[in-house]
Amino acid sequence: MKTRKPQKEAKSSGTITMLDVAEYAGVSAQTVSRVVGNSSLVAEKTRRRVEEAIQALRYIPNDAARSLASASSRVVAVIIPTLSSSAFAAEVKGVIDALEPHKISVIIGNTEYSQAREEAILQSLLERRPIGVILTGLQHSPKVRSLLQQSGVAVIETWDTDGDPIDMAVGFSNFTAGYDVGKLLCERGSKRIAFVGGGSAQDSRAQSRYLGLCKAVKEAKLPDVHRVELSLPMSGNDGIRGLDEVLRDAPLTDAIFFSADTMALAAILECNRRGIRIPEQLAICGFGDYELAAMVTPSLTTVRTQPDEMGATAAQMLLARISESGNAKHKVVLAHQLVRRGSA
Amino acid sequence: MKTRKPQKEAKSSGTITMLDVAEYAGVSAQTVSRVVGNSSLVAEKTRRRVEEAIQALRYIPNDAARSLASASSRVVAVIIPTLSSSAFAAEVKGVIDALEPHKISVIIGNTEYSQAREEAILQSLLERRPIGVILTGLQHSPKVRSLLQQSGVAVIETWDTDGDPIDMAVGFSNFTAGYDVGKLLCERGSKRIAFVGGGSAQDSRAQSRYLGLCKAVKEAKLPDVHRVELSLPMSGNDGIRGLDEVLRDAPLTDAIFFSADTMALAAILECNRRGIRIPEQLAICGFGDYELAAMVTPSLTTVRTQPDEMGATAAQMLLARISESGNAKHKVVLAHQLVRRGSA
DNA sequence: TTGTACGCGTTATCAA
DNA sequence: TTGATAACGCGTACAA
């Protein structure tokens, strides 16, 4: 136990509060608050005394009390479909790293691609009174929308800019990305193109890519895209399953656009094993540009997005909104890039 | 600027509190509190009235006030080296999913393998008064230890059981895992073995695996393990770099143990490209059993751990500690499994 | 089964 | 530049 103990109040219940620090430093609690809050209205000498007291007593501010008194928290909520996807994990990391210097914590919700879970998780997270909520995609249930609207938090929707955001958005155009892939496949001479991805209801971003692909295919006057829907979340095994389904149901297919690199990579490896020549016999295109995409043989043609950059940008937009410096952007479209390699 | 309302009658302020709900339902605030807290001491009829009021007013409890009044939070802090690693991401997901039903939020800190950052992040996260802190590994600075000790939070250390935990631990024996790999390599006839991983100071888990490997190699009376240290975090490119360094500095090497599958996978792909025959010319073993490990050719021999299970277990241990049901375990050793495939 | 009084640790306001 | 006081919204303890 400490040698130095507040004498006059028997209220020292073990936890060290600002009052303890104030007493130790011979100032008022308010002055301690100013020091902790880096207020400029403190004499240098006083500040040093208080900081010494903080060190000596190992004082750690209580954020709950701060939030309650100031009616504002230091928390941002991020709701993503799943942390299993390296893309979403990278986004979250971008958010955390950008917010850490500001002492803002990030709490995460996994919806597993379920709208019902999104609602429940949002409701739960709103109890923390976050200063901002970062969502995935532009498609949300009415309940989510009304919860958001009513709570008045800043909202940032990510991964999609093909629509109107609730509040702010940062991402890229999935439609254009899909269209770009379609044009590439058409121009390289593919005639019968397939798309493998999640269900349209669950993953509207993948759906947009599909629609973009369809547009390019239509413009090239090719047969309709053969679509294989798999349940989310998708893993490498789903890539093989998707490949199998395409080969079975549309055997003339000569190009597949997978909605994620995990699947495309697995498909390439499986084709190698089966002796299916890529891209001569079957062209393959992925999405996400995972690190291994450049390393497989043939290397994977894919679309590079910037998940970490997206997370960092979302965080910056939130900070800008909070500081009300006026330069808060409402919609930021990040570049995506078609990376042409050996597989298509 | 917000102005405080001196009157407590004028509850027309923006935020809806328990008092508003209480008034609407014709009960006291305390009864509302009981309903929100699922207390059994509320008449069914009253409960329904209150719940209707909550719905009607769209009341959302304020967690800061709850924490302050009850002197306990609903937050768990998880501190990991980086969210870029799928293993750590899986662990975090395990924690989140296990805690979500209990309405406990998870806040994440990324140390980037830096002890200094671990200290700073921990200090910052402790302001949220988490009910538990989940750390990575058993090696922590004195400051981290004293912060933890002083705050009195429950602590769970993960990913390593080769040592004494501060409080509780869940993980596996990295030393044994490394030893297992070493025995396999020796038994299959490898004579000159190399290890590629992070610096010993930064990643003590990888260091333990290295030491286990060395023990097996020593028992087999083989030449010392050639070690290549790379800076963390490690990516696929580091696998290729590690491969290059081994081939350059220890050209007689006939087996490499990579401290993570990301590197091992990249190395296999690179060997394929260069015409290095695996495992005849060079055996390769990874760590982590990532999904692609089974899909590359030759498939990757590796060690399977259970990151998600580890996260879930850590969460359960925390819950057990909180409920003080007495069955809180102090050290849980999860199984790891050597998965022998084609590469070694 | 329900209500009343009080305090949790901090910040905002205003006075000194 | 500093301090006194009053909230912030809720749970705990106890009374009814």
Residue B343: strand, helix, or coil: coil
* Spatial distance between the Cα atoms of B262 and A295, rounded to a whole number of angstroms: 11
Report d(CA B90, CA B309) in Å as an integer: 9
Please report, rounded to whole angstroms, the spatial distance between the CA atom of protein residue B3 and the C1' atom of nucleotide C3: 31
Q: Is A268 a residue whose pLDDT tops 80?
A: yes
C-alpha span between A200 and B144 (Å, rounded): 47
Torsion angle, CA of B301/B303/B308/B314, rounded to 10 degrees?
180
Best of B112, B128, B150, B274 to mutate (most A CBs within 10 Å, chain A) = B128
d(CA B92, CA B110): 11
With cut-offs at 50, 70 and 90, classify the pLDDT of residue A326. Answer: low
Q: pLDDT tens, A44-60?
A: 999 999 999 999 999 99
Cα–Cα distance list, B140 to A127, A256, A315 (Å): 33, 49, 30
Element (H, E) at B319: helix B307-323
Chain B CB within 8 Å of residue A263 CB: no
CA angle B88, B125, A42 (to 5 degrees): 150
- The pLDDT of residue A297 is above 60: yes
Kindly tell me if the per-residue pLDDT of B7 is higher than 50.
no
CA-wise closest residue to A242 among A213, A263, A262: A263
In chain B, whose CA is at the least distance from the CA of A238? B291
Q: Is the CB of B29 under 7 A from strand C?
A: yes
B80, B97, B108, best to mutate vs chain A, most A CBs in 10 Å: B108
**Least CB–CB distance from B129: residue in A62, A108, A150:** A62
Distance (Å, rounded) from C-alpha A87 to C-alpha A4?
51
Q: Which of residues 28-87 of B touch strand D (CB under 7 A)?
A: 29-30, 33, 36-37, 59, 61-62, 65-66, 68-70
pLDDT confidence tier of residue B297, bands split at 50, 70 and 90: very high
Q: Tell me how close the Cα of A253 comes to any Cα of chain B, in angstroms.
A: 23
Predicted pLDDT at B328: 65
Compare all CA atoms of chain B with the CA of A143 and give the residue at the minimum distance: B58
Chain B residues within 8 A of A147 when measuring between CB atoms:
58
What is the average pLDDT value for chain B, to the nearest integer? 92
Domains and CATH numbers, chain B: 18-70 (1.10.260.40), 74-172+307-334 (3.40.50.2300), 174-304 (3.40.50.2300)
Specify whether the CB–CB gap between B73 and B131 falls below 8 A.
yes
Contact B305, B87 (CB under 8 A): yes
Q: Between chains, do A273 and B297 touch, taking CB under 8 Å as contact?
A: yes
Coil, strand or helix: which one is B167?
coil
Nearest in space to B190 (alpha carbons), one of B272, B304, B284: B284
CB-nearest partner of B291 from A124, A235, A270 = A235
Each residue's pLDDT tens digit, A218-247: 999 999 999 999 988 888 889 999 999 999
Give the pLDDT of residue B199.
Answer: 81
Nucleotide nearest to A22 (CA to C1'): D3
pLDDT, residue A303, reads: 98
Is the pLDDT reported for residue A4 higher than 80? no
Q: Which two tokens stand for residue B254?
A: 């006939």
- Rounded Cα distance, B163 and B157, in Å: 11
- Smallest CA-to-CA distance from B293 within B249, B253, B260 is with B260
Q: What's the whole-number mean pLDDT along residues B195-223?
A: 93
- Quick one: tokens of A59? 């004082």
**H or E element that contains B169:** strand B168-171
B136-188 per-position pLDDT tens digit: 999 999 999 999 999 999 999 999 999 999 999 999 999 999 999 999 999 99
Instruction: List, for residues A123-152, the tens digit of each pLDDT value.
Output: 999 999 999 999 999 999 999 999 999 999
pTM: 0.93
Q: Mean pLDDT across chain A, nearest whole number?
A: 92
Rounded distance, CA B226 to CA B32, Å?
Answer: 67
Closest-approach residue (CA) in chain A for B71: A64
Minimal CA separation from A254 to chain B, in Å:
22
Asked if A90 reaches chain B (Cβ–Cβ under 8 Å), the answer is: yes
B293 touches chain A (CB under 8 A): no
A68 touches strand C (CB under 7 A): yes
pLDDT of res. B326 = 60
Contact A318, A333 (CB under 8 A): no
User: For A106, which residue in chain B has the nearest alpha carbon?
Assistant: B107
Amino acid at B240: I
Residue B116's contacts (CB-CB under 8 Å, 6 or more residues apart) are none
Give dist(CA A132, CA A125) in Å, integer.
11
pLDDT digit string (tens) for B215-233? 999 999 999 999 999 988 8
pLDDT by residue (tens digit) across A6-40?
333 434 447 899 999 999 999 999 999 999 998 87
A55 interfacial to chain B (CB closer than 8 Å) = no
The DSSP-derived string for A99-138 is: HGGGT-EEEEEE-TT-HHHHHHHHHHHHTT--SEEEEESS
Q: Determine the residue type at B139.
A: Q
Q: Which of A78, A226, A97, A104 is nearest to A157 (CA)?
A: A78
Residue B339 backbone dihedrals phi, psi, to 5 degrees: -105, 105
Q: What Å distances lie between residue B59 and A109, B10, B50, CA to CA?
A: 21, 18, 11
Element (H or E) spanning A243, and its range? helix A236-249
Per-residue b or e along B53-90, where b marks 16 or more CB atoms closer than 10 Å to that residue's CB: bbeeeebbbbbbbbbbeeeebbbbbbbbbbbbbbbbbb
User: A15: which chain B residues are within 8 Å (Cβ-Cβ)?
Assistant: 71
Residue A315 has pLDDT above 60, yes or no: yes
* Tokens 């803002």 sit on residue: A104
Nucleic strand D under 7 Å from the C-beta of A72: no
Banded model confidence at residue B327, pLDDT cuts 50, 70, 90:
low
Contact assignment for A150 to B58 by CB distance below 8 Å = yes
pLDDT at B13: 52
Report the C-alpha gap between B155 and B167 in whole angstroms: 5
Q: Distance, in angstroms, between A303 CA and closest chain B CA?
A: 19
Scan residues 216-235 of B and list those with Cβ closer than 8 Å to A.
Answer: 235
Residue type, B284: I
Q: Where are the alpha helices (DSSP H) in B7-162?
A: 18-25, 29-36, 44-57, 63-70, 86-99, 115-126, 142-151
Measured in angstroms, the CA of B252 and the nearest CA of chain A are apart by 25
Cis peptide before B6 (omega within 30 of 0): no
Q: Is the Cβ atom of B2 within 7 Å of strand C at any atom?
A: yes
Which region among A130-134, B181-185, B191-195, B196-200 has the lowest average model confidence (pLDDT)? B196-200
